[in-house]
Structure 1
Amino acid sequence: MTVRFAVIGLVVSDLAASLAFYRRLGLVFPEGAEDQPHVEAGLPGGLTLALDTEETVRSFHPGWQPPAGGGRISLAFRCGSPAEVDARYAELVAAGHHGELKPWDAVWGQRYATVHDPDGNGVDLFAPLPVPGE
């Protein structure tokens, strides 16, 4: 059998807050997920984003502690347009999430911004910039 990358797993301190955050970005979690210790959302290409509560992880790894200094990963969401990057960033910041990097036109040709999810993980929002002359 060939090994295949399949799941991105996040350990979350507040499942309801994390679900609200990722639902704002279009991910679909089952109804009642807020009451579960482990939830999953299907991602494009067959990948899965799995959220586990800290308590769930400690149930099988009693010594587990969150990494010092907050999040250690970054997720990126492609938006439909540069204006959508701005709108999603504004929506998430207005909902109380930390805006790490305000939207800007990156030298590599994208509108780009970074917000933090409830556990401090970086979540990048991006969209290609229009190509001059096209």
Structure 2
Amino acid sequence: MDNTTSSAPQFAFIGLVVSDMAASVGFYRRLGLAFPEGSEAQPHVEAELPGGLLLVLDGEETVRSFHPTWQAPAGGGRAGLAFRCAGPEQVDALYEVLVGAGYHGELKPFDAFWGQRYATVHDPDGNGVDLLAPLG
């Protein structure tokens, strides 16, 4: 690190480029994130996460407004996120809610060898979203 820098940079947000803002806002609201009213129709939205970090969603056209040659990665899956649940039962219930709402269930809930109840669903853009909780 440069000795002239008075402090280290602070991690500020997780950013996702989304193809359908309304679908993405709806998905992450089902996971408990609070986006402002009317976010579904905005080109850029933010939800505060615990600890002050933000989840930032930008529509593809917003990104192309400042990076005209930007292209979505082939095959989907632009990032991976994880949500810690209150317990194994919440992993199972949340997985069922999301799959029941039409989202792709990648990995059904299972008891992982590392000591967690674990499942993966995909958000509307194919990003893996893990649901996890300690076993026992």
1:4-29 CA-to-partner distances (Å, cap 9, x unmatched) read: 11110000000000000000000000
The letter for the 2-side match of 1:33 is S
1:31 pairs, out of 18, 37, 41, with 37
Distance 1:125 1:46 in 2: 21
The corresponding residue for 2:47 is 41
Distance 1:76 1:30 in 2: 22
1:86 pairs, out of 78, 84, 92, with 92
Distance 1:34 1:112 in 2: 29
Aligned with 1:69: secondary structure? coil
1:57-89 CA-to-partner distances (Å, cap 9, x unmatched) read: 001111000011111321000001100000000
Which 4+ runs in 1 deviate beyond 4 A?
none
TM-score by length of 1: 0.95
The corresponding residue for 2:131 is 125
TM-score by length of 2: 0.94
Distance 1:10 1:51 in 2: 5
Distance 1:114 1:31 in 2: 28
Q: Give me the CA root mean square deviation.
A: 0.7
Distance 1:37 1:104 in 2: 37
Identity of aligned residues (%): 75
Instruction: Please list, as runs of the form range in 1=range in 2, the aligned pairs for 1:1-134 lying within 5 A after superposition.
Output: 1-130=7-136
Structure 1, unmatched stretches of 5+, are none
Alpha-carbon shift at residue 2 of structure 1 (Å):
2.2
The letter for the 1-side match of 2:115 is G
The letter for the 2-side match of 1:87 is A
1:19-60 CA-to-partner distances (Å, cap 9, x unmatched) read: 000000000000011121100000011100000000000011
The letter for the 2-side match of 1:63 is T
